[in-house]
């Protein structure tokens, strides 16, 4: 019998505030304002990789996305460069998230020039048959047994969605004065079975039980119907890049059968989940700015630089440029924006 003994998932809530672009009054919408916040020592904001650099580790997503190298590390990225890559800033306020027994969670808050992203990553330990795993994860994600503790306050018996709203409200003064009008919110999930037991054949993506598990886990739903076209084609380097990705509109699942049955100290599944979470959050935040710009016309000249930067980064991610993070997930998420990106290129460069 095939069972999973640990599963991980992330949930991200990216809320946009287009009124900050329309007015030009956002605290991070202009170059000089962003640079000041990026360079502020000991302030409320820091680069999203600061903790990893301090621990001497390497943040793979930001490392590949930004113009850095393993030799120079991310600590060499300047505020001007980060602005050009529309890198978000992370709220440095400590926060602790606790859930039901058998689960561990951590959260981060990222602020963009016109948006706030809250990300919660959960690891759940237990023993689930593949047919039962999606319902268990869906119940955990939707449950009301979560608590949030910060230096200022604590809340209990909440849903993850409720905690995310609290954090978004608390972080709003970091990017705006007053109460700007909010726009769309994008909620996405990334899931990944992490450890398991059983016959390797029972974990093959061709198995019907695995297919149903993938279809449900991709959206953290209790059940789902497998659609072959939503299973992303396997990477040619099957030795080093053996994970399969199944995507739905609300999220995707990472399925690495070899690593599930033979966990490695290098934690390839956990690394992929963190990278893909940051990838989808970043695309959502940049997409919101681009969608606003496409609908705006004319775009205020003060914002040309920011919108141009967002356009270029989305184009690079979509094209799989060698100087950015490469993923088929990025191509699929950005595909609907291509005409708008081309229109912006013609209008503001």
HSE-CB at 226 with a 13 A cutoff on CA atoms is 15
Give the percent of the chain with pLDDT over 90: 84
Query: Residue 57 — pLDDT band, cuts 50, 70, 90?
Result: low
Chain position carrying tokens 């963009």: 112
Q: Between the CA of residue 6 and those of 3, 92, 217, 263, what are the distances in Å?
A: 9, 29, 14, 11
Query: Residue 237 — pLDDT band, cuts 50, 70, 90?
Result: very low
- Quote the longest CA-to-CA distance of the chain: 62
Rounded average pLDDT over 239-248: 80
What's the pLDDT at 331? Answer: 96
Contact 118/167 with Cβ under 8 angstroms?
yes
- The answer on pLDDT for 220 being more than 90 is yes
- Looking at residue 103, what DSSP letter applies? E
Contact 203/234 with Cβ under 8 angstroms?
no
Judged by average pLDDT, the poorest of 110-119, 170-179, 226-235 is: 226-235
Burial 313-342 (b: 16+ CB within 10 A, else e): bbbbbbeeeeebbbbebbebbbeebeebbe
Rounded average pLDDT over 51-55: 67
Give the percent of the chain with pLDDT over 70: 95
Report the alpha-carbon distance of residue 158 to residue 156 in Å, rounded.
5
pLDDT, tens only, 61-118: 998 998 765 555 788 899 999 999 999 999 999 999 999 999 999 999 999 999 999 9
* DSSP output for 302-314: GGHHHHHHHHHHH
What's the pLDDT at 73? Answer: 72
- Provide φ and ψ at 188, rounded to 5°: -130, 155
Contact 140/191 with Cβ under 8 angstroms?
no
**CA dihedral (70, 74, 76, 77) positive or negative:** positive
Report the alpha-carbon distance of residue 284 to residue 290 in Å, rounded.
10
Q: What is the residue-averaged pLDDT of the chain?
A: 93
What's the pLDDT at 76? Answer: 85
What's the pLDDT at 54? Answer: 60
More confident residue, 177 or 264: 177
Q: What's the distance, CA 202 to chain centroid?
A: 30
What's the pLDDT at 239? Answer: 47
Burial 161-173 (b: 16+ CB within 10 A, else e): bebbbbbbebbbe
Nearest CA among 98, 96, 102 for reference residue 124: 102
- The answer on pLDDT for 323 being more than 80 is no
pLDDT, tens only, 261-317: 998 888 999 999 999 999 999 999 999 999 999 999 899 999 999 999 999 999 999
Report the alpha-carbon distance of residue 77 to residue 47 in Å, rounded.
9
Predicted TM-score (pTM) above 0.85: yes
Query: 3-state secondary structure string, 231-299?
Result: ECCCCCCCCCCCCEEEEECCEEEEECHHHHHCCCCCCHHHHHHHHHHHHHHHHHHHHHHHHHHHHHCCC
What's the pLDDT at 91? Answer: 97
- The answer on pLDDT for 238 being more than 70 is no
pLDDT, tens only, 114-151: 999 999 999 999 999 999 999 999 999 999 999 999 99
Rounded average pLDDT over 3-10: 98
What 3-state DSSP class applies to 320? coil
Chain position carrying tokens 């299973």: 231
What's the pLDDT at 53? Answer: 61
Angle formed by the axes of helices 208-217 and 133-142, to 10°? 10
What 3-state DSSP class applies to 163? helix
């Amino acid at each position: 019998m095939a069972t999973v003994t640990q599963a991980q998932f992330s949930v991200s809530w990216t809320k946009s505030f287009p009124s900050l672009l329309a007015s030009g009054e956002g605290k991070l919408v202009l170059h000089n304002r962003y640079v000041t916040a990026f360079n502020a020592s000991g302030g409320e904001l820091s680069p999203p990789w600061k903790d990893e650099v301090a621990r001497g580790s390497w943040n793979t997503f930001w490392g590949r996305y930004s113009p850095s190298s393993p030799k120079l590390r991310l600590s060499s990225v300047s505020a001007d460069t980060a602005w050009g890559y529309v890198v978000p800033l992370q709220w440095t306020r400590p926060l602790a998230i606790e859930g039901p027994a058998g689960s561990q969670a951590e959260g981060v808050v990222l602020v963009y020039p016109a948006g706030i992203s809250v990300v919660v990553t959960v690891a759940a330990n237990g023993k689930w048959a593949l047919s039962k795993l999606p319902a268990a994860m869906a119940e955990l994600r939707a449950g009301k047994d979560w608590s949030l503790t910060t230096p200022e306050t604590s809340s209990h018996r909440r849903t993850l969605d409720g905690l995310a709203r609290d954090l978004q409200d608390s972080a709003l003064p970091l990017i705006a004065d007053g109460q700007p009008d909010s726009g769309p919110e994008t909620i996405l999930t990334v899931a990944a079975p992490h450890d398991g037991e059983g016959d390797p054949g029972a974990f093959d993506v061709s198995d019907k039980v695995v297919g149903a598990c993938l279809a449900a886990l991709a959206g953290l739903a209790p059940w789902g119907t497998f659609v072959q076209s939503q299973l992303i084609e396997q990477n040619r380097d099957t030795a080093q890049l053996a994970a399969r990705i199944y995507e739905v509109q609300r999220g995707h699942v990472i399925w690495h059968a070899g690593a599930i049955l033979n966990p490695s100290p290098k934690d390839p599944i956990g690394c992929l989940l963190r990278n893909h979470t940051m990838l989808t959050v970043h695309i959502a935040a940049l997409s919101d700015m681009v969608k606003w710009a496409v609908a705006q016309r004319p775009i205020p000249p003060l914002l040309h630089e920011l919108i141009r930067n967002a356009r270029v980064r989305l184009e690079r991610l979509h094209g799989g440029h060698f100087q950015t993070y490469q993923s088929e997930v990025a191509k699929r998420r950005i595909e609907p924006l291509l005409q708008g990106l081309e229109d912006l290129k013609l209008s503001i460069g």
